[in-house]
């Protein structure tokens, strides 16, 4: 949204809830799996991925986390992200949706703050069918052909009528055992 690069950012503060603090706030995750559950790492990774936009697909996939985990600049930025309990975030959060606030202080001195009351995927901002399909193509398209992805998406669209769920991995070229 702001077309920033990591080198533009002097500091990053993330307002979180008590529920999140200490659980999803590791600044130096110990492995790739832990990095996927780290808000600071995800912010650092998303900032380093300058090709992420709302129109081209704002998706971080498993391979991005593996690559990012081995990237010293991503790890450095992750270590500088501060997560702090924020009263505005606490007040806006519910059992169904956890709000968030990110404040970036730029090298220029300017501050940029984004508050998200309802994150994408929450009950108030659910993913559309097309967004699910786009995400499926984004992730599976890294490992499977467009035809295999299309066959898998067809299986998903017709899941209630699918005679055998083993058809789903077969759509990707896997043989069920």
Q: pTM above the 0.75 mark?
A: yes
Contact 100, 32 (CB under 8 A): no
pLDDT band at 56 (very low <50, low <70, confident <90, very high): very low
pLDDT band at 54 (very low <50, low <70, confident <90, very high): very low
17: tokens are: 């809830």
Which residue's structure tokens are 């600044």?
27
Contact 38, 63 (CB under 8 A): no
Closest CA to 36 of 21, 24, 53, 18: 24
Closest CA to 52 of 62, 43, 60, 44: 60
Residue 100: helix, strand or coil by DSSP?
A: strand
Rounded Cα–Cα distance for residues 19 and 11 (Å): 23
40: tokens are: 């600071």
Q: What pLDDT score was predicted for residue 47?
A: 86
Closest CA to 151 of 132, 168, 130, 127: 168
What average pLDDT does the segment 107-125 reach?
Answer: 92
pLDDT band at 57 (very low <50, low <70, confident <90, very high): low
């Amino acid at each position: 949204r702001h077309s920033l690069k990591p080198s533009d950012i002097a500091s990053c503060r993330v307002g979180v809830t008590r529920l999140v603090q200490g659980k999803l706030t590791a600044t130096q995750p110990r492995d790739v799996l832990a990095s996927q559950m780290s808000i600071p790492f995800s912010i650092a990774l998303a900032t380093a991925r300058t090709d992420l936009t709302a129109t081209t697909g704002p998706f971080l996939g498993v391979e991005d986390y593996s690559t990012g985990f081995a990237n010293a600049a991503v790890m450095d930025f992750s270590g500088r992200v501060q997560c702090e309990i924020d009263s505005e975030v606490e007040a806006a959060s519910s059992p169904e949706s956890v709000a968030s606030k990110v404040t970036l202080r730029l090298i220029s001195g300017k501050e940029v703050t984004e508050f998200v009351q309802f994150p994408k995927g929450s009950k108030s901002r659910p993913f559309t069918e097309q967004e699910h399909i786009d995400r499926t193509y984004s992730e599976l398209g890294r490992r499977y052909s467009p035809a295999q992805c299309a066959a898998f998406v067809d299986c998903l669209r017709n899941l209630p009528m699918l005679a055998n769920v083993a058809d789903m991995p077969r759509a990707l070229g896997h043989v069920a055992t």
